[in-house]
Amino acid sequence: MKKWVYLFHELDAAEKYVGGDWDAVRGLLGGKGANLADMTRLGVPVPPGFTVTTEACNAYLAAGGKFPEGMWEQMLDALKEVERLSGKKFGGTDNPLLVSCRSGAKFSMPGMMDTVLNIGLNDETAQAMIRLTNNERFVYDSYRRLIQMFGAVVLGMPDEAFEDVLEEFKRQRGAKLDTDLSAEDLKELTAIFKGVVRKELGFDFPMDPFEQLKLATEAVFKSWNGKRAVDYRRATNIPDDLGTAVNIVTMVFGNMGNDSGTGVAFTRNPATGEKKLYGDYLLNAQGEDVVAGIRNTEKIENLERDMPECYREFLQICDKLERHYRDMQDMEFTIERGKLWMLQTRNGKRTAKAAVKIAVDMANEGIITREEAVKRVTPENVDTLLHPQFDPETIKKAKADGRFFASGVNASPGAAVGQVYFDADTAEKMNKEYHQDVIMVRPFTKPDDVHGMLAAKGILTSEGGATSHAAVVARQFGVPCVVGAASVRIDLDKRQMEVDGKVVKEGEWISLDGGTGEVFLGKLPMTSPSLEEQTDLLTLLDWADEICARPGIRKSVNGSPTTGLQVWANADYPKDAQRARSYGARGIGLCRTEHMFFEQERLPIVQRMILAKTSEERKAALDELLPFQRADFEGLFTAMDGYPVIIRLIDPPLHEFLPAAKDLEEQIITKRIEALAGYVLGKGEPKEVVELEHMLQAVEAMHESNPMMGLRGVRLSIVMPEIVEMQVRAIFEAAANVTLKGVHAKPEVMIPLTGHVNELKVIQPRLEEIAREVMKEKGVSFPYKFGTMIEIPRAAVTAAEIAEIAEFFSFGTNDLTQMTFGYSRDDAERSFLVTYVEKGILPKNPFQTLDRDGVGRLMQIAVADGRSTRPDLEVGICGEHGGDPNSIEFCHLVGNNYVSCSPFRVPVARLAAAHAALKHAA
Ligand code: PEP
Ligand code: MG
């Protein structure tokens, strides 16, 4: 008979069953169950209990809602053992055992599935409990909670069915808080709640404890496929087939008086990463009071004052657990009459900032290695840290202007500006259908609200603390969040909120700072944070670089380097290059020179060059452009002193530098109408019109049906070599000039859009000649290279020949993806690509994440064949994929020397490169 049930002290058996692998144990028992068993083995006080496996859940769901054979009997046997360990009896009338029934999947899904507490209470056991505890109030409080939870979770009744009755009851009794209700009140409420069940469902709340247990177990199994859980799995990429385990745990009570309490705590601050216990507790309360954030909690350090011994023991347990799991822990505990019980521990969710600080601190404390620290931070974490913020001046000004609205707990950092919506469905709709930036505002959030929170740029609640649902979920998804802004009065009927007469109606704008917990009226400007000030992140990125720089970290493929990837940047201007360098770029992988042509003072010269009728005219215009280009390049070489700078020769079709034919025609008509009077007087066609018509003729003459596949890149250089000749002269003059000033310039000239080696054979020697000429003229020499982009499939499959001429390859995967799929990169996303991804025809958008099977295959061929001709061929990538972690991993595997991405992505790419190196370490 298969074993479906494991007692907490049967961890060894579970390990044996799955072959000893901890990940597989978590798969079988769920994260919570595995950790409860593990804590039991560590000697941490855990209430006796057992886990029904995820295999049982999957079997139950596969059978259409039937317990697998033997499971229930095994649960009954395990319950007997729990009875023995606890000295209590389930359903007993002397010393009754009460249990909780808790969900727990392999990966934590906070609040997404169901939990029922106080199972085993009925009219008889309640009397026994009253005799035992002498605390009638507590027993009826537990009993009415059971009926409420059971009704909502197991029997599927709406929360409000009980909440409305409770509110009305409190109003009649003049009670503000639940704790203001007396034992007599709660007894009456229990009877009323039973009546609610009967009225709503037509049957009685089950008195049989075993019936309660059975139904609760089924409810937890079913909650795996509930909407909340499914939505959460979609958002977090948790597979659907894992199933949830069910943990049956002896109840311990935090609401047995003022020597009892309950709380949640993190071993380090989950918002900042600071190494200091962080959490909340409540005396005389049950767990959900703290988590729901309904009552105002005490800070965990005050427990030292209330219960010094328990606090001391708790600190020791925290330390033990953190060292055992080698990560920050998120724990739930209960103190029952002075005795501390640990109910849960798990690796705590944290903000990006905390993730970095905790990883770096733990490596420095010797708890984990530097490699582990690097692995613990995700590229998304780094991205978040470089996201927008409000600068202090903006905040100061907003306050001076009277735009301060409210403040609350700074639950998840980052700035957010958006339009306010007061429920999750509307927030989601406004974002998805109307593409609005949305701030979701609620009194507090519940797991049903997650879809709205995910669609929001920011979240604001008026209730709850740092460990409330809103705070935990926001931190996990990196959504800026302020909770517990108590001065905000939210009126859900009027769809507005108000503080001291300042009213914000639905759809109006607010700005929210999750780092300080402040909220402002209207839209505040945001700024990008500076990397320089984030010292922990800098340390971590240095460690990442150090990993990539290790010789031997990578298996050599076709003579590729044995160090990891370097990260270079795409930068067109000296200021971009400076930023790239300060973000850790080790070279420029792409300077798109045509961007320099578009500047205001240059464009007319470029147009004159294009419209020139004679070679002399063209040369004259190019001579005017040369100093501009030279100055740009000097700036780039100086910013990247000592590092390679790849400058791409002109790439786009020339018509891009001229106005569109349609615009020219309109201008001509307008000018003609304006000049009509003069025309009638016989002055002839005005000069401007003549010029415009000349331009229009040129544009029409250049018209191509498929300009992206037309006269551009190397083809243009062959047809009109004067432009690239000027560019190469400007590059080498600039390199020579800065070399003379002591800068180490390393120019690499890149020829775009090569498809046939003969194209290079025609153009490259001519350009190399100019390079040599300039160095001779200037009397200096410096290292340089000539190479090409691989953007056309034919270039990839004839790489062996191309590498005879080209000294380096750079994959232009924007064009290579376009040409390989035959999808127009400018149009595909808005016409069919989104549908393709939604329907699963393509797994991902290939313009964002490299298509390994197709485009990637071409890259493999190109690298192998290219290096077979030229073993020291330098290989990089400069398409958008150079900043995408998944594509970076592929570039590592293919044997690239470097990836090049936008300066802002450089830190993300450095971390992703180290992850790839560690994942595939030789
Ligand atoms: C590319 O095609 O990937 C590339 C970097 O060039 P561009 O995007 O300028 O065409
Ligand atoms: Mg290109």
* Strands 489-491 vs 339-347: parallel, antiparallel or unpaired: unpaired
Looking at residue 593, the DSSP 8-state letter turns out to be: T
Q: Which residue, judged by its Cα, is nearest atom 4 of ligand 1?
A: 812
Q: Which residue has the tokens 């400058």?
A: 647
Residue 878 CA, closest ligand 1 atom number: 5
Report if residue 736 sits inside a domain.
yes
Q: What is the DSSP string of 767-784?
A: HHHHHHHHHHHHT-----
Q: Where are the alpha helices (DSSP H) in 307-463?
A: 308-325, 352-364, 370-376, 379-385, 392-400, 424-434, 450-455
Q: What is the pLDDT of residue 687?
A: 76
Ligand number nearest CA of 570 is: 1
Nearest to 904 by CA among 400, 531, 408: 531
Q: What is the pLDDT of residue 466?
A: 66
- Tell me, in angstroms, the distance from the centre of ligand 1 to residue 724's CA: 18
Give pLDDT tens digits for 161-191: 999 999 999 899 888 877 788 999 999 999 9
Residue 814 CA, closest ligand 1 atom number: 3
Instruction: Find the helix packing angle between 136-149 and 159-173, rounded to 10°.
Output: 150
Q: Residues forming the annotated binding site for Mg(2+)? A: 791, 815
Tell me, yes or no, whether 444 and 571 share the same domain.
Answer: no
Ligand number nearest CA of 648 is: 1
Q: Which two three-digit tokens encode residue 95?
A: 């010393």
Phi and psi at residue 786, in whole multiples of 5°?
-120, 130
Q: What is the pLDDT of residue 288?
A: 67
Residue 570 CA, closest ligand 1 atom number: 5
Tell me, yes or no, whether 215 and 267 share the same domain.
Answer: no
Nearest to 738 by CA among 700, 769, 688, 778: 778
Domain around 432? 392-516
Q: What is the pLDDT of residue 177?
A: 78
Query: What distance in Å separates the CA atoms of residue 284 and residue 337, rounded to the nearest whole number?
Result: 10
- 524-538, 806-820, 822-836: which range is least confident on average? 822-836
Report if residue 471 sits inside a domain.
yes
Q: Best substitution site from 646, 750, 811, 878 to test ligand 1's pocket, by max atoms within 8 Å of Cβ?
A: 878
Sign of CA dihedral 755, 757, 759, 765: positive
* Residues 6 or more apart whose Cβ sits within 8 Å of residue 440: 421, 422, 423, 424, 427, 449, 452, 453, 455, 456, 458, 459, 460
Tell me, yes or no, whether 246 and 265 share the same domain.
Answer: no
Tell me, yes or no, whether 464 and 345 share the same domain.
Answer: no
* Strands 244-250 vs 49-52: parallel, antiparallel or unpaired: antiparallel
- Tell me, in angstroms, the distance from the centre of ligand 2 to residue 788's CA: 11
Give pLDDT tens digits for 557-596: 778 899 999 999 999 889 889 989 999 999 999 999 988 8
| Length of the chain in terms of residues written | 922
State the pLDDT confidence band at 441, using cuts at 50, 70 and 90.
Answer: very high
Active-site entry in 57, 101, 451, 469: 469
How far separated are the first and last CA of the chain, in Å rounded? 44
Q: Check pLDDT > 80 for residue 300.
A: yes
Q: What is the pLDDT of residue 830?
A: 65
Give pLDDT tens digits for 631-665: 999 999 999 999 999 999 999 988 888 888 888 88
Looking at residue 300, the DSSP 8-state letter turns out to be: G
Active-site entry in 310, 548, 591, 878: 878
Q: Which residue, judged by its Cα, is nearest atom 10 of ligand 1?
A: 815
Q: Which residue, judged by its Cα, is nearest atom 3 of ligand 1?
A: 812
Looking at residue 205, the DSSP 8-state letter turns out to be: P
Give pLDDT tens digits for 742-795: 999 999 999 999 999 999 999 999 999 999 999 999 999 999 999 999 999 999
Q: Check pLDDT > 90 for residue 80.
A: yes
Give pLDDT tens digits for 371-414: 999 999 999 899 888 878 888 889 999 999 999 999 988 888 78
Q: How many H helices and E strands in the chain?
A: 39, 31
Report if residue 608 sits inside a domain.
yes
Q: Best substitution site from 648, 814, 877 to test ligand 1's pocket, by max atoms within 8 Å of Cβ?
A: 814
Tell me, yes or no, whether 72 and 219 share the same domain.
Answer: yes
Give pLDDT tens digits for 233-282: 888 888 889 999 999 999 998 887 889 999 999 999 998 999 999 999 99
Query: What distance in Å separates the CA atoms of residue 248 and residue 212, rounded to the nearest whole number?
Result: 12
Query: What distance in Å separates the CA atoms of residue 472 and residue 481, rounded to the nearest whole number?
Result: 10
Q: Which residue has the tokens 């469902």?
A: 201
**Cβ atoms 846, 837 nearer than 8 A:** no
Q: What is the pLDDT of residue 134?
A: 81
Tell me how far CA of residue 703 lies from CA of 103, 288, 655, 696, 752, in angstroms.
65, 69, 8, 11, 21
State the pLDDT confidence band at 848, using cuts at 50, 70 and 90.
Answer: confident
Report if residue 25 sits inside a domain.
yes
Is 878 considered catalytic here? Answer: yes
- CATH number of the domain residue 455 falls in: 3.50.30.10
Name the domain boundary from 516, 532, 560.
516
β-partners of residue 569 are 588, 901
Q: What is the pLDDT of residue 681?
A: 57
Query: What distance in Å separates the CA atoms of residue 265 and residue 272, rounded to the nearest whole number?
Result: 14
Phi and psi at residue 490, in whole multiples of 5°?
-95, 125
Tell me, yes or no, whether 327 and 447 share the same domain.
Answer: no
Q: Check pLDDT > 70 for residue 683.
A: no
Region 542-547: mean pLDDT is 98
Q: What is the pLDDT of residue 293?
A: 58
- Tell me, in angstroms, the distance from the centre of ligand 1 to residue 652's CA: 10
What domain count does the chain have?
A: 5
Give pLDDT tens digits for 603-621: 899 999 998 988 899 999 9
Q: Residues forming the annotated binding site for substrate? A: 592, 648, 791, 812-815
Query: What distance in Å separates the CA atoms of residue 314 and residue 84, rounded to the nearest whole number?
Result: 27
Nearest to 817 by CA among 760, 715, 890: 890
- CATH number of the domain residue 324 falls in: 3.30.470.20
Residue 775: HSE in the Cβ half-sphere, 13 Å Cα cutoff:
15
Q: Who has greater pLDDT, 699 or 739?
A: 739
Residue 698: HSE in the Cβ half-sphere, 13 Å Cα cutoff:
21
- CATH number of the domain residue 809 falls in: 3.20.20.60
Q: Check pLDDT > 60 for residue 680.
A: no
- Tell me, in angstroms, the distance from the centre of ligand 2 to residue 879's CA: 7
Report if residue 729 sits inside a domain.
yes
Q: Which two three-digit tokens encode residue 496?
A: 């507005």
Ligand number nearest CA of 878 is: 1
Q: Which residue, judged by its Cα, is nearest atom 6 of ligand 1?
A: 812
- Tell me, in angstroms, the distance from the centre of ligand 2 to residue 753's CA: 7
* Strands 404-407 vs 518-521: parallel, antiparallel or unpaired: antiparallel
Region 15-44: mean pLDDT is 95
b/e sequence 564-579, b meaning 16+ C-beta within 10 Å: bbbbbbbbbbbebbbb
Q: Which residue has the tokens 């139950």?
A: 60
Ligand number nearest CA of 816 is: 1
Phi and psi at residue 7, in whole multiples of 5°?
-70, 160
Give pLDDT tens digits for 472-523: 778 767 789 998 898 999 999 999 999 999 999 999 999 999 888 999 999 9
Report if residue 296 sits inside a domain.
yes
Looking at residue 631, the DSSP 8-state letter turns out to be: H
**Exposed (0-12), middle (13-18) or buried (19+): which is 614, by Cβ within 10 Å?**
exposed
- Tell me, in angstroms, the distance from the centre of ligand 1 to residue 627's CA: 26
Query: What distance in Å separates the CA atoms of residue 764 and residue 786, rounded to the nearest whole number?
Result: 8
Name the domain boundary from 350, 379, 403.
350
CA 73 to chain centre: 44
Report the mean per-residue pLDDT for the chain. Answer: 92
Tell me, yes or no, whether 406 and 320 share the same domain.
Answer: no
Report if residue 37 sits inside a domain.
yes
Q: Check pLDDT > 80 for residue 729.
A: yes
Cα–Cα–Cα angle for 385, 390, 391, rounded to 5 degrees: 100
Ligand number nearest CA of 594 is: 1
- Tell me, in angstroms, the distance from the centre of ligand 2 to residue 279's CA: 52
Tell me, yes or no, whether 226 and 329 share the same domain.
Answer: no
Query: What distance in Å separates the CA atoms of residue 808 and residue 749, rounded to the nearest whole number?
Result: 9
- Tell me, in angstroms, the distance from the centre of ligand 2 to residue 791's CA: 6
SS3 903: helix
Tell me, yes or no, whether 345 and 267 share the same domain.
Answer: yes
* Residues 6 or more apart whose Cβ sits within 8 Å of residue 140: 126, 183, 186, 187, 189, 190
Q: Which residues have any ligand 1 atom within 6 Å of their CB?
A: 590, 592, 651, 791, 812-815, 878-879
- CATH number of the domain residue 233 falls in: 3.30.1490.20
Residues with CB under 5 A from ligand 2 (ion): 791, 812, 815
Tell me, yes or no, whether 90 and 233 share the same domain.
Answer: yes
Tell me, yes or no, whether 297 and 327 share the same domain.
Answer: yes
Tell me, yes or no, whether 576 and 507 share the same domain.
Answer: no
Report if residue 201 sits inside a domain.
no
Region 274-300: mean pLDDT is 81
- Sheet containing 489-491: order of strands: 489-491, 496-499, 502-505
Name the domain boundary from 251, 278, 310.
251
**Cβ atoms 141, 175 nearer than 8 A:** no
Q: Best substitution site from 568, 716, 789 to test ligand 1's pocket, by max atoms within 8 Å of Cβ?
A: 789
Give pLDDT tens digits for 447-468: 778 889 989 999 999 987 766 7
Q: What is the pLDDT of residue 719?
A: 94
- 28-32, 367-371, 471-475, 688-692: which range is least confident on average? 471-475
Q: What is the pLDDT of residue 596?
A: 85
Q: What is the pLDDT of residue 870?
A: 97
Q: Residues forming the annotated binding site? A: 592, 648, 791, 812-815
Tell me how far CA of residue 502 lies from CA of 443, 491, 516, in angstroms.
17, 13, 21
Give pLDDT tens digits for 330-383: 999 999 989 999 998 989 989 889 999 999 999 999 999 999 999 999 998 998
**Cβ atoms 324, 42 nearer than 8 A:** yes
Give pLDDT tens digits for 197-235: 999 999 999 999 999 999 999 999 999 998 888 888 888
Instruction: Name residue 527's amino acid.
Output: T
**Cβ atoms 60, 67 nearer than 8 A:** yes
Q: Which two three-digit tokens encode residue 51?
A: 């886990």
CA 54 to chain centre: 28
Query: What distance in Å separates the CA atoms of residue 352 and residue 332, rounded to the nearest whole number?
Result: 23
* E strand segments, 123-271: 244-250, 261-266
Q: Best substitution site from 572, 750, 815 to test ligand 1's pocket, by max atoms within 8 Å of Cβ?
A: 815
* E strand segments, 268-311: 278-283, 298-299
Share of the chain above pLDDT 70, in %: 98
